[in-house]
Amino acid sequence: MGKLPYEAYIFDLDGTLTESEPGIVKSVQYALEKMGVTGYSREDLQFAVGPPLMYSFMGALGMSEADAAQTVRYFQERYGAKGYLENSVYPGIPALLKSLKAQGAWLGVATGKPERFTVPVLEAFGLAKYFDAVAAPLAEDDAPYKERLIPRALPKGPVNACIVGDRDLDIQAGKTCGIHTVGVLYGYGRKEELAQADLIADNVEHLTTMLLGDAPRAKGCFMTIEGSDGCGKSTQAKRLAEELALLGHRVVHTREPGGCRISERIRGIVLDAREEGMSNLCEALLFAAARAQHVHEVIRPALLRGDVVVCDRFVDSSLVYQGVGRELGVVVEQINRVAVDGCMPDLTLLLDIDPALAMARRVAAESPDRIEKERDAFVQKVYRAYRALAENDPQRFRLIDASGSPDEVSARILDVVRREL
């Protein structure tokens, strides 16, 4: 078992944990327009991302202290309303933080962004749970000196620590506080600016290797979306993958049957509406074969990397469609136990909707495949079998009301996933 190179890790926020430039620049543009200042493009205003705004407005724009203070107030007017949400977490950051916490590291945030913005950002993007301390200016007139903030983010007593940041202010403050410094080039600082850092990471993957040393990475999360044909699971799987990516998760969005070249070829055979002579056992074995390759080639490697896997159908679909619907019973469970080789979902979202309505949706959308052409009795058996699985395994399954608009269903799913993830 490897050991972490540091005991405590302090992170800057903007440009290190989150890509905050869109919300900051739009809010700066708003503030300047309120001040009657125009003619600056989005690229011109990137100087405002990272350093304290008062200094940026006075230094880069030549404002007086009074005008700069008023511009900051206008900025906060828009940023506090919506600008802080015009943000995204850098891909791989949640996996890094999860791995550090799993090894018992102390994690802190030290940022010049006022606390009334910092905490909502961390909470909105699912990062707050990882941090033991957050050090940010408590009031608008508090000096946002990073060298004063870092000690507030560290645990009490002597500790082997580092600060991770994207600007020279982070590096110099870390040196003043006597801790190691790690600069990141994926943020808003340049290599020349970070030249004094003890270490420099080109990207989040490089940073992860530096900060973990030879300690292991935390395992990823495996989510599946299940439900009767026409329940909207494919749409919702895609939306969920996109939302998780905004939260900084490296996401593998896949499906069954399929997900890789060999499994997709099997999918073409098993769902072909012209293959009416296929026996029930042949169908079940083909699904299991596709799944075995999918797990081997896509799902297990992604989980070992620490990624989040979102899969449209998995083994539960075989248990209900072939096990119950085709009445193959325990045979389906036996062949799939070998196929999944212990790789089971951490969370399964079961989209619950009247099966007749779901099938009507599906058939109206496009021509049904071989399985979707089954009679109503088969569809009802599948629906009841899904509900039975969920009732028997409440720790893994979450029932999602799939009625209403796609946006409404997406909101329900994301609410559940944020809590569970």
Residue 391 located in a structural domain: yes
Question: In this structure, are 248 and 205 located in the same domain?
Answer: no
- Beta strands in 256-396, from DSSP E residues, in sequence order: 308-312, 347-352
Question: In this structure, are 238 and 162 located in the same domain?
Answer: no
Residue 3 located in a structural domain: no
Question: And the tokens for 295?
Answer: 């797990």
CATH of the domain at 362: 3.40.50.300
Mind listing the pLDDT tens digit for each residue in 204-258? 999 999 999 999 999 999 999 999 888 999 999 999 999 999 999 999 999 999 9
Which of 82, 83, 52 shows the shortest CA–CA distance to 68? 52
Mind listing the pLDDT tens digit for each residue in 357-369? 766 666 555 655 5
Mind listing the pLDDT tens digit for each residue in 298-329? 999 999 999 999 999 999 999 999 999 999 99
Kindly report the average pLDDT of the chain as a whole number: 91
CATH of the domain at 31: 1.10.150.240
Burial of 385 (0-12, 13-18, 19+ CB in 10 A): middle
pLDDT above 90 (res 2): no
Sheet with strand 397-401: strands edge to edge: 251-255, 308-312, 221-226, 347-352, 397-401
Question: In this structure, are 68 and 97 located in the same domain?
Answer: no
Q: What is the mean pLDDT of residues 103-129?
A: 94
| Predicted local distance difference test score (pLDDT) of residue 138 | 86
pLDDT above 70 (res 294): yes
Query: Containing domain of residue 32, as a range?
Result: 21-85
Question: 64-98 burial string, b = 16+ CB within 10 Å, else e?
Answer: eeeebbbbbebbbebbeeebbebbbbbbbbbbbbb
Residue 65 located in a structural domain: yes
Out of 39-53, 145-159, 377-391, least confident range: 39-53
State the DSSP string of 67-84.
Answer: HHHHHHHHHHHHHHHTGG
pLDDT above 80 (res 376): no
Domains identified in the chain, total number: 3
Question: And the tokens for 378?
Answer: 């088969």
Beta bridge mates, 255: 312
Domain C-terminal end among 151, 183, 212:
212
Question: In this structure, are 273 and 365 located in the same domain?
Answer: yes
